[in-house]
Amino acid sequence: MLEPYQQAVVAEALRRDANGSFVYSTILYSDIKKSAKSTIAAAVALYLAWHTPWETVRVVANDLRQANSRTFFYLERAIRLNPYLNAKCSIKIHHIGLPNHTTIEAIPVDPKGEAGGGDLMTCFTELWAAKNDAALRLWSETTLSPLKFGQSIRWAESYAGFVGASPILEQLYETGKKQGEVVDVGIPGLELYSNASARMLTLWNTVPRCTWQTPEYYQQEAASLTPDEFQRMHRNQWSEDTDTFIPVETWNACGSEQYDSVYPDEPVVIAADAGVVSDNFAVVVVTKRGDKVQVHYARIWQPLHGEKLDYSIIEIEIRRLVNAYNTLELSYDEFQLHSMMGRIRAEESVNCRVFNQASPRAVADKRLYDMIMLKRIQHGNKFPDLSAHVMNSNRKPEDENKLRLVKRAPHLKIDACVCLSMACDRAHAYAFD
């Protein structure tokens, strides 16, 4: 059962004029996290598809997995749980066929494949993360056909994004909310706006309105999220594109517990990262105990008086570490370390593995963030240089499963934090227990 404000918004969004045309062509449904945004989009899509024959409805997300696991997932589940619908509809991977010959598809961002579709409804999910050129082109390509003016809609659901990094959502926010006028649908204080000239309706709800959004839930969320993330997800407030990676209090809390040194034959992962033009070099050694990753070694080399680092000395130390521990893997960023690691690999004394700095690094950085926030990284306050590099780091979200460690300022170093990210990720790849 929808909450009263949700019922009112959906009714207004699908309102038709005296000629039977939709009053709005674009719906921006922006609500706080866990407010059933995707479920509502699925319900609207299924309703329109069921009542309109020989049409197409498309669910768009930043990748096919996301498109299939959000709005489309709720569409498919609604059909399967209804015996009548389940008997009438044909469900395949990423595709639903209705008995009236209308189809519903889950698609990734692909402007070439989807240009000029002329759909009954195009639903964009989690629009805050749509920021690359392909997403921008697809948004342009899916503008409504003049042949279906008043008979088709674009529906975008999302909570707030990042200033300067969510271009489509920012433009919709500007057009829909800032240039719109408040619509009174009988719900006190509801942030619902209409821009008549743009034929656009915008919900931009910033407060909990659902019965399941309890104070206890938000107390839990506030304990595991940074203040900026909490405001963005649970209060629908815009955030800056980069934020401090980890609050200092949370990192310090990860150092409050002491732990034993590496046991004989206990497996470890070593990670190495070198800065550009030999300006920094970091090595971190970790082991995994239960659900925690513990740091047992962290060292940073920096050149003095503008000189370059002597990699031969560092190579000796890395070899010492490999031999001193039961090293499962030596993981490294290949950019500056190809020659050194090539020599070590040739000796076949340790598994040397290049850590891809593109998408896998973004996944690893997000894992490290989650581990620290859950206090599953332990460092015992033994490594001040590592702590400094963590505090030098900002985070730049890419999507809800990825973020990127970036320098808080150009002159600051974060190599040891990058090493910890790689080491933590690779430690989870092995069955330590």
User: Do 307 and 359 sit in the same domain of this protein?
Assistant: yes
Residue 209 forms part of a structural domain: no
User: Do 57 and 76 sit in the same domain of this protein?
Assistant: yes
pTM of the entire predicted model: 0.63
Q: Which of 147, 179, 204 is a domain's end point?
A: 204
Helix, strand or coil for residue 90?
Answer: strand
CATH at residue 88: 3.40.50.300
Mean pLDDT within 214-233: 88
CB contact set of 398 (below 8 Å; sequence gap of 6+) = 129, 362, 404
Whether the per-residue pLDDT at 67 is higher than 60: the answer is: no
User: Do 140 and 169 sit in the same domain of this protein?
Assistant: yes
Mean pLDDT within 300-317: 87
CATH at residue 407: 3.30.420.240
DSSP 16: B
**Angle, CA 60 vertex, CA 364 and CA 212 arms, to 5°:** 75
Whether the per-residue pLDDT at 111 is higher than 50: the answer is: no
Helix, strand or coil for residue 269?
Answer: strand
User: Do 187 and 332 sit in the same domain of this protein?
Assistant: no
User: Do 260 and 284 sit in the same domain of this protein?
Assistant: yes
Q: Cα–Cα distance between 393 and 397 in angstroms, integer?
A: 13
Residue 184 forms part of a structural domain: yes
User: Do 236 and 255 sit in the same domain of this protein?
Assistant: no
* pLDDT score at 156: 94
* pLDDT score at 135: 78
Structure tokens at 320: 């010492």
Residue 272 forms part of a structural domain: yes
Task: Choose the weakest-confidence range: 17-21, 30-34, 166-170, 422-426.
Answer: 166-170
Q: What domain range is 144 assigned to?
A: 4-204
Per the structure, the count of domains in the chain is 3
User: Do 26 and 169 sit in the same domain of this protein?
Assistant: yes
Residue 47 has a CB neighbour count (10 Å cut-off) of 13
Residue 121 forms part of a structural domain: yes
Cβ distance 160 to 238 under 8 Å?
yes
Categorize the per-residue pLDDT at 113 as very low, low, confident or very high, splitting at 50, 70 and 90: low
Cβ distance 240 to 224 under 8 Å?
no
Q: What is the CA radius of gyration of the chain?
A: 26
Residue 24 forms part of a structural domain: yes
SS (H, E, C) 43-73: HHHHHHHHHCCCCEEEEEECCHHHHHHCHHH
At 226-245, the pLDDT tens digits run 787 899 999 999 987 667 89
User: Do 280 and 260 sit in the same domain of this protein?
Assistant: yes
CA dihedral (140, 144, 146, 152) in degrees, to 10, reads: 180
